[in-house]
Amino acid sequence: MIEVECPNCHAKLKVPEQYAGRTGKCRSCGAEVSVPAAVAPATPAPPMPPPVPPPAYPPYPPARPASGGGMDALIPTKNPCALTAYYLGVFSLIPCIGLALAIPALILGIKGLSFYNQHPEAKGKAHALVGIIMGGLFTLIWGGLVLMMVLSAALHP
Ligand SMILES: [Zn+2]
Q: What is the pLDDT of residue 67?
A: 47
The whole model's pTM is what?
A: 0.49
Query: Contact 85/128 with Cβ under 8 angstroms?
Result: yes
Q: What is the pLDDT of residue 95?
A: 83
Q: What is the pLDDT of residue 29?
A: 95
The whole-angstrom separation of Cα 108 and Cα 111 is 5
With a CB cutoff of 8 Å and minimum separation 6, the contacts of 144 are none
| 16 Cα: distance to centroid of ligand 1 (angstroms) | 17
Q: What is the pLDDT of residue 156?
A: 78
| 5 Cα: distance to centroid of ligand 1 (angstroms) | 8
| 30 Cα: distance to centroid of ligand 1 (angstroms) | 6
| 157 Cα: distance to centroid of ligand 1 (angstroms) | 117
Annotate 125-134 with b (16+ C-beta within 10 A) or e (fewer).
bebbbbbbeb
Stretches in the chain below the pLDDT threshold 70: 38-47, 53-74, 157
Q: What is the pLDDT of residue 61?
A: 56
Q: Within 13 Å and on the Cβ side, how many CA atoms surround 99?
A: 9
Q: What is the pLDDT of residue 38?
A: 64
Q: What is the pLDDT of residue 69?
A: 47
Query: Contact 109/131 with Cβ under 8 angstroms?
Result: yes
Q: Give the torsion sign (CA, 144, 147, 149, 152).
A: negative
Q: What is the pLDDT of residue 19?
A: 87
